[in-house]
Structure 1
């Protein structure tokens, strides 16, 4: 993770300064940290940590701040920028594309993608990749991962299409009860009107994306970027020919995958097997 800076351009620092400024300049009278905490249904210590850049910003706080101060999404935007800036540089463009997307197509052969991970699942994934990480580092990763889900909860969320290899359901990344909660979260996500979850059976034919996760992100201008991740690397492909090939491959995946209804049944069956 990149280290925080104390420059005004740092989104985390800017969030803190805007929170303190809005509180102190509140009309008709300034608010103390304790008073603001009561309005936000949180603790004074949480407000203090936010204003002094100690730890992650609780993901439910920005929309409440916008509501209390009437700031029309400013704190939500700053929070999204702060989360994006916490990721390594090579992932930041992807985060920017994701926040503005009108359509997100995800394929994963091994793991539940970040947008759909529960806290326990994300923690297990991170600790598996970074076994020497400390408690604070793990906690920061999990908070940042959960904060990405805000793109699914906005007023105009993107249409999301998710295709998972069947092995993702069967691979026990975390203890059984935590894995049950992850599969339940997948079912709940698939029930949203803007999300479709499909499972690619283990006996499906080989395809271009077999070896790595791929995300196709469509912008408001309808241009498509292909995001590919591999060992400690990530790339974004914008070349028109490669994008067309990726879109065609994704269409083939959805054609070979189980329907959304059949996929939901398979997920539910796998939940029952976890004991």
Structure 2
């Protein structure tokens, strides 16, 4: 990054890096000193300041705040960068998703966002944002993949996903992208924190026409229902509404294929793709 580049021409990560460098120099710290304080190498700090990383870690941002004595300035700055790649109506959901102890997801037409590969997500975003730049699409893809970071916590949530079989037959991005997506589902299903079921076509009309939704459960707090349409997303915390959605999810789980049967079906689809 050229030091003479006007701020308005910098992307968000470059601005983050420039701000880190400016505060570091103002504090009289070297890159090595900042790296030591934040728990990272000098090379990592250099790459952050140059805006060369796809996204600095939250741990690094917290380390900067600790080293500089800036409260949560850089942590909040990084969070705003993340949120900038999502529509505003989705941000409140993301904040709750990070805190959830259990995530129950029913997807009826596309693979659940948290289980999408980069190429699958990129295709979805390109179709839904036809006028966006390649850089903007890359940012959205990166933000979607970062949602998986909750599984790196010491106490990761349990993700339960029910995919309608239509999700697996809808070709997104071509045969190669779909093959990689199906293979990724098989891989993620091996995680002790992820349970995957497929709702087969044979389950009939009620399951086929049920709209996608997500239930978030929290330790010691009321659960929340999240629904989405093309116009935006909505969260519902009415006890009656959440209870009804939880009842529907129990019915979906009972009607869907077992986890092992679901993986067998996915393996069969992979063979159809020649993998």
The question of a shared fold, defined as TM-score above 0.5 by the shorter chain, is answered with yes
Which secondary structure does the structure 2 equivalent of 1:203 belong to? helix
TM-score in terms of structure 1 length: 0.79
Please state if 1:232 is matched with 2:227. no
Alpha-carbon distance, 1:153 to partner: 2.1
TM-score in terms of structure 2 length: 0.79
Q: Is the 8 A contact 2:31 2:42 kept in 1?
A: no
- Give 1:62's aligned residue: 57
* C-alpha distance in 2 between matches for 1:15 and 1:101: 28
Which stretch shifts more, 80-89 or 190-199? 80-89
Alpha-carbon distance, 1:121 to partner: 0.3
Alpha-carbon distance, 1:215 to partner: 0.3
Which secondary structure does the structure 2 equivalent of 1:161 belong to? strand
* C-alpha distance in 2 between matches for 1:77 and 1:185: 32
1:178-193 aligned within 5 A:
178-193=177-192
Q: 1:215 to 1:261 in 2, by over 3 A?
A: same
Which secondary structure does the structure 2 equivalent of 1:151 belong to? helix
- Give 1:31's aligned residue: 31
Which secondary structure does the structure 1 equivalent of 2:228 belong to? strand
Q: Is the 8 A contact 2:103 2:158 kept in 1?
A: yes
The number of residue pairs the alignment matches comes to: 256
Root-mean-square deviation over aligned CA pairs: 3.5
- Give 1:20's aligned residue: 21
Alpha-carbon distance, 1:123 to partner: 0.7
* C-alpha distance in 2 between matches for 1:220 and 1:84: 24
* C-alpha distance in 2 between matches for 1:246 and 1:263: 23
Q: Which runs of 5+ in 2 are unaligned?
A: 1-6
Which stretch shifts more, 220-229 or 209-218? 209-218
Segments ≥4 residues shifted beyond 6 Å = 11-14, 66-70, 74-77
Q: Is the 8 A contact 1:227 1:235 kept in 2?
A: yes
Which secondary structure does the structure 1 equivalent of 2:121 belong to? helix
* C-alpha distance in 1 between matches for 2:16 and 2:157: 25
